[in-house]
Amino acid sequence: MSKSTIRYSGRTRARAIKTFLGQFLGYGGAQLGLLCLVFFLVTAAMPNILVGPLQTAINATGDFLAPPSGQHLLGTDEVGRDVLNLVVHGARISLTIALLATVISLVVGTTVGMTAGYFGRWVDVWLMRLTDFFFVMPSFVLALVITPVVLEVMGRGREILGFRPSLFVILVVIGMTSWAFVARVVRSQTLSLKERTFVDRARVAGSSNFSIMVRHILPNLVPQIAANGALVVAGAIYVETSLSFLGLGDPLQPSWGTLLSLAQRAGAASAGAWWYLGAPGVCVLTVSLSFVLIGNALDDTFNPRRRVIP
Amino acid sequence: MIDSSQHKGSLLEVDGLSVDYGLKGVSSRAIDRISFELRAGEAVGLVGESGSGKTTTAMAIAGLLSPNARISSGEVRYRGNRLPIDHDAAMRPHRWSETSVVFQGAMNALNPVHRIVKQIAEPCMLKLGMSRGEANARAKELLELVGIPADRGAAYPHELSGGMRQRVMIAMALACRPSLIIGDEPTTALDVITQAQILKLLGELRSRLNIALILITHDLSVVAECCDRVMIMYSGRIVEDGTVAEIFAQPKHPYTRLLIESIPNPASGKKIIRPIPGDPPNLVNRPSGCAFHPRCPSAMGICATELPSLDKFGQGRVACHLHRSSQHDKVAAHA
Amino acid sequence: MSRRIGRILLRAVITLVMVAILNFGLFRVIPGDPASLLLGGARTSVTDEQIEAQRQNWGLDRPLFPDQALDYLSATLQGDLGYSFKFRGRHVADLILERLPATIVLVGLAQFIAILCGVMLGVYAGWRRGGAVDHAATGVSLALYSTPSFWLGMLLVVIFSTALGWLPGYGAYSPGANVGSLDLALDYLRHLALPVTAVALGLIGQYVVVARAAMSDVVTEDYMVTARAKGLTGGQMLMRHAFRNAMLPVVTLITLNLGYVVAGAITVEAVFAWPGIGGLTVEALNARDYPVLQGIFLLLGVSIVMANLIADLAYGLLDPRVRQ
Ligand SMILES: Nc1ncnc2c1ncn2[C@@H]1O[C@H](COP(=O)(O)OP(=O)(O)OP(=O)(O)O)[C@@H](O)[C@H]1O
Ligand code: SF4
Ligand SMILES: [Mg+2]
């Protein structure tokens, strides 16, 4: 379990971070995951510089469903767009959705879990009942019905915060339906933290509940939240890809899942256009594997529950 | 029942046994050239502070060392035959039929998902070839023997108290009528009264059934109650070995003396327990010479440079430069 | 014993009620008159009388709560899920029941294969941790775990259907197959092969990961040392002492991953045009056929709650410690 530090001095903290990094980076999985992740993040950060603006059916230049060549490294799609171009732009969309959904999920999960654990009694009972529901009902199933209904209510026209409405709805819905596991972990951790003396001391010193939670409990939850966060991202990518594949994405801002959906509709599989469906799939696989590997390594670093014997 | 009287020699002979643990590329010697003998039916205590190598010694004898352990010297003989303690499959016939173990903390040593009667009956079926019915009947007999009503056999481990679970462990250890039981701190987690009851039971049963016992503990008073002999370990070596009466009356090794003095003795009105000053030694970097010398009140110049060998002294043995009989001036012959 | 079961049942009921509330609420939130939605949406031509009849029939002129909610509940309990937009006038319940068998065959078979292979492989990998099988199985499983099943399905089609031509990659029957013959059965199995493989592969990864982690925790337990001290062989230790204990976390974690099962099945059906619930879902999504979507949500919700219930009860059978 995490060390019960009250407040780090600058030097202790630096040393703690150094020890942590040393241990974390000692895992082969963490190295591989980080490497892939950095690659994709860089790609997602500057798609226009790397491959030019997103191609559309109108400004597409290639042949239809042409296999990879010197000109189109990953071939073309059914309207002649460059698959590399699509996949690089897809990285930006897929990663943004997954990361933002994770932020929402972590914020909701931490808030719910910390509140339930800290206040206990009926607050705990009811919040946990709510958590139970989201724990049992998979994010995918909830998102599958909530997304189209919300879109119907909102209309599918204008963009929200730079997202096409369906993407915005998908990311909010994924975030709002995938926090239950985080909430449970945070709650049980909070339960043990609040018994610690430093919390009592803060209470005696007159800190408000809110400031105790934010200043004293939250910092000690960071390891748990981080390890789970990485796994939540992997889950979010999975759900987003599946929903987009079923047609809930937006062709104007195609994520990897939407590209796979387009490939499916164009009959890429039966046409043998492996490059078209292969490229986005490999990206999904690589990115979510990276997050899983990083999450596992974080978990192993923070909770060395395995015995010393190999 | 095995009749041990026909074996004139020792039941168990441990000869120059050393065990190293490898951990992250570093190897550390947990026990160093341990030698002792055990007669059939004899009860010997193995005493020492935490990390002195008691469990390692016991597990080596039972052939149960963990995978990162390496036997780097010596051997163990049982009824005169060498035991294949580093060969898991070859040890199998010996296990439980000849040597059984009562582990510390029976909560974890019992399988949580099986009824206790099943766990006691298991070795009877597998090792003695009993049918399920016979084995269950024997398991119930054994439960009665350790003072648990037979109908409690249907209980699961978590439904029993700590003392009851330890009784179950003892019943299980007796299942195949072994000649040697190793108890590794069998009463550590229990309260004082239960502890006394369990030790009494263990002592009675083993002397009635004529089973040899190696009792591991860091509590000398436990040994006084149910052992004939005691061996004191320090930093992976036996430093003193003698009968209980002798050692309590006249401890020879300074470490033994300090251990005995640190037992709280209400009779003499001594309330303050005097802990032994200094830190336990580091195994990777064991002190040179006598490993106890940094903490020893009687340390001399030679102590830091020369390892005292474990020599016969009176009835027992002691490894200390203060007690060297003249014929052993040649240091550590079998180093 | 019964207290625990009572608590499990209560939790299941609460979850079911929440599913029902969500189902009811979502349905009312959609713009447009629910009555016309019930009749098949604005896209169909229905007369005002029909709408009015529906309104009264469904009690839509009454307050939302409790009257309408109770009506919804009683209709749902009687299996009346309203009418589809797309398949005009057809009962949602009928549509779902029609498609359900194909999905049950696909998911059931895939789950069976995945649990069997995944748990066995995971248990073995955890038992021999650090061995060659462990390294290979863990690597492949993590990759499979991170791969959407439908993409595996698309790859299978490219390889085994398009490139090699071994197996069909579309639908459940070849056109023109004789009804009722043995050929038909074989034809069905050949069509089933690729989708089942895709769903199963997606799940195997998880089961291996979970079973391996559970088993590697079990092998370090003290009772395993006891078993070894008793002179049991490796196989006996595994079967008598390790396996059942390792299954405890596996049972719990399998229900945690039900989302992957559902997502896997629905998307894979979409890839293979398998005539099951997944195909129906895609059609409903494309046609904005909300009643059908709501019906599917109800079906999934109830199935998931039931699966959790079964897992909770099974856990009690496996682990005596929770029974009291
Ligand atoms: N599996 C292992 N791997 C590495 N080192 C080990 C292992 N088991 C024991 N050791 C080390 O070997 C030394 C002796 O351990 P051992 O368990 O034999 O001591 P002990 O006398 O039984 O102590 P305690 O009273 O704490 O049970 C200790 O320093 C311990 O840290
Ligand atoms: S050998 Fe020396 S240091 Fe060691 S116990 Fe004896 S007197 Fe003390
Ligand atoms: Mg020990």
Give per-residue pLDDT as tens, C131-140.
888 888 888 9
* Chain B residues whose beta carbon lies within 8 Å of the beta carbon of residue A309: 66-68
Q: Does residue A161 belong to any structural domain of this protein?
A: yes
* Chain C residues whose beta carbon lies within 8 Å of the beta carbon of residue B108: 221-223
Name the residue with the closest Cα to ligand 2, atom 1: B320
Tell whether ligand 1 has an atom less than 6 A from the beta carbon of residue B26.
Answer: no
Average pLDDT over chain B, rounded to whole? Answer: 83
Average pLDDT over chain A, rounded to whole? Answer: 81
**Run of H or E residues at C286:** helix C277-287
Percent of chain B with pLDDT over 90: 15
Segment B102-125 shows an average pLDDT of: 86
Segment C176-186 shows an average pLDDT of: 69
**C93-318: CATH topology:** MetI-like fold (1.10.3720)
Segment B272-300 shows an average pLDDT of: 77
Taking phi first (over 0 means left), then psi (-120 to 50 degrees means alpha), and beta for anything else, what does residue C237 get?
alpha
* Chain A residues whose beta carbon lies within 8 Å of the beta carbon of residue B66: 309
**Residue that is written with structure tokens 């370090």 in the block:** C220
- pLDDT given at position A53: 75
* Rounded Cα gap, residues C198 and C192, in angstroms: 10
- Name the band, by pLDDT with cuts 50, 70 and 90, for residue B17: very high
**Strand duo B12-23 + B43-47: pairing:** unpaired
Segment C290-297 shows an average pLDDT of: 86
**B10-24, B88-102, B199-213, C42-56, range with the lowest pLDDT:** C42-56
Say which residue, C51 or B93, is predicted with more confidence: B93
Residue of A nearest to B22 (CA): A309
Q: Which residues contact A184 (CB under 8 A, 6 or more apart)?
A: A113, A131, A135
Taking 90 as the threshold, does the pLDDT of residue A104 lie above it?
A: yes
**Burial bucket for residue A236 (CB in 10 Å: 0-12, 13-18, 19+):** buried
In DSSP notation, chain A reads -----S---HHHHHHHHHHHHHHHHTSHHHHHHHHHHHHHHHHHH-HHHHH-SPP-TTT--S-TTPPP-SSSTT-B-TTS-BHHHHHHHHHHHHHHHHHHHHHHHHHHHHHHHHHHHHH-HHHHHHHHHHHHHHHHS-HHHHHHHHHHHHHHHH-S-S-BTTB-HHHHHHHHHHHHHS-HHHHHHHHHHHHHHTTSHHHHHHHHTT--HHHIIIIIIHHHHHHHHHHHHHHHHHHHHHHHHHHIIIIIS-TTS--HHHHHHHHHHTTTTTTT-HHHHHHHHHHHHHHHHHHHHHHHHHHHHH---S-S--
List of long-range contacts for C218-223, beta carbons under 8 Å, 24+ apart: C218/C126, C218/C242, C218/C245, C218/C246, C219/C126, C219/C127, C219/C129, C220/A306, C220/A307, C220/A309, C221/B108, C221/C245, C222/B103, C222/B105, C222/B108, C222/B109, C223/B108, C223/B109, C223/B110, C223/B111, C223/B112
**Burial bucket for residue A48 (CB in 10 Å: 0-12, 13-18, 19+):** exposed
Q: Which residues pair with C55 in a beta bridge?
A: none
Q: How many CB pairs under 8 A join A and C?
A: 155
Map A184-248 to HEC letters: HHHHHHHHHHCCCHHHHHHHHCCCCHHHHHHHHHHHHHHHHHHHHHHHHHHHHHHHHHHHHHHHH
pLDDT digit string, tens, across residues A230-264: 888 888 999 999 999 988 888 888 888 888 888 88
List the structure tokens of A192: 């043990």
Identity of residue B151: D
Percent of chain A with pLDDT over 70: 89
- Name the band, by pLDDT with cuts 50, 70 and 90, for residue A100: very high
Segment C155-166 shows an average pLDDT of: 80
* Rounded Cα gap, residues B186 and B107, in angstroms: 12
Interface test with C, best of B98, B102, B111 (most C CBs within 10 A): B111
Say which residue, C310 or C83, is predicted with more confidence: C310
- Name the band, by pLDDT with cuts 50, 70 and 90, for residue A6: very low
Is A49 at the interface with chain B, CB within 8 A? no
Q: Does residue A61 belong to any structural domain of this protein?
A: no
- pLDDT given at position A2: 40
Q: What is the CATH number of the domain that holds A204?
A: 1.10.3720.10
Residues near ion ligand 3 (Cβ under 5 Å): B 55
Q: Number of structural domains, chain A?
A: 1
* Chain B residues whose beta carbon lies within 8 Å of the beta carbon of residue C229: 62, 64, 95-96, 100-101, 103
Percent of chain C with pLDDT over 70: 82
List the structure tokens of B135: 């084995």
Say which residue, B70 or C73, is predicted with more confidence: B70
| Closest in C223, C229, C320 to B95, CB measured | C229
- Name the band, by pLDDT with cuts 50, 70 and 90, for residue C278: confident
- pLDDT given at position C50: 67
Say which ligand is closest to the CA of B276: 2
- pLDDT given at position C175: 67
Percent of chain B with pLDDT over 70: 89
Q: Does residue A6 belong to any structural domain of this protein?
A: no
* Rounded Cα gap, residues C167 and B72, in angstroms: 60
Segment C41-57 shows an average pLDDT of: 62
- Name the band, by pLDDT with cuts 50, 70 and 90, for residue B329: very low
**A149-153, B195-199, C56-60, C264-268, range with the lowest pLDDT:** C56-60
Task: Give the number of the atom of ligand 2 that is nearest the alpha carbon of residue B291.
Answer: 4
* Chain A residues whose beta carbon lies within 8 Å of the beta carbon of residue B23: 308
Task: Give the number of the atom of ligand 2 that is nearest the alpha carbon of residue B300.
Answer: 2
Segment C86-98 shows an average pLDDT of: 78
Say which ligand is closest to the CA of B103: 3
Rg (Cα) of chain C, in Å, rounded? Answer: 24
The alpha carbon of residue C29 and the mean position of all alpha carbons in its chain are separated, in whole angstroms, by 27
Task: Give the number of the atom of ligand 2 that is nearest the alpha carbon of residue B255.
Answer: 5
- CA-based nearest residue to C210, from C247, C176, C184: C247
- pLDDT given at position B328: 46
Percent of chain C with pLDDT over 90: 7
Name the residue with the closest Cα to ligand 1, atom 1: B66
Q: Does residue A22 belong to any structural domain of this protein?
A: no
- pLDDT given at position B182: 92
List the structure tokens of C69: 């909610």
Give pTM, 2 decimals: 0.82
pLDDT digit string, tens, across residues A166-175: 888 888 999 9
- CA-based nearest residue to B98, from B117, B110, B119, B84: B84
The reply to whether residue A310 touches residue B67, judged by beta carbons under 8 angstroms, is yes
- pLDDT given at position A109: 92
- pLDDT given at position A4: 42
- pLDDT given at position B6: 45
Segment A39-64 shows an average pLDDT of: 76
Tell whether ligand 1 has an atom less than 6 A from the beta carbon of residue B7.
Answer: no
Residue of C nearest to B95 (CA): C231
Taking 50 as the threshold, does the pLDDT of residue B3 lie above it?
A: no
Tell whether ligand 1 has an atom less than 6 A from the beta carbon of residue B34.
Answer: no
Q: Does residue A15 belong to any structural domain of this protein?
A: no
Taking 90 as the threshold, does the pLDDT of residue A112 lie above it?
A: yes
* Rounded Cα gap, residues C22 and A143, in angstroms: 12
- Domain housing A247: 32-52+81-302
Q: Where along chain C do its domains lie? A: 1-86, 93-318
Segment C185-210 shows an average pLDDT of: 85
Q: Which residues contact A163 (CB under 8 A, 6 or more apart)?
A: A171, A253
Q: Which residues contact A189 (CB under 8 A, 6 or more apart)?
A: A113, A117, A220, A221, A224
Taking 70 as the threshold, does the pLDDT of residue B78 lie above it?
A: yes
Q: How long a stretch of residues is chain B? A: 335
Segment A42-61 shows an average pLDDT of: 76
pLDDT digit string, tens, across residues B267-278: 555 555 566 777
Taking 90 as the threshold, does the pLDDT of residue A45 lie above it?
A: no
- pLDDT given at position C57: 61
Question: How far away is chain C from the Cα of A15, in angstroms, using its nearest Cα?
Answer: 31
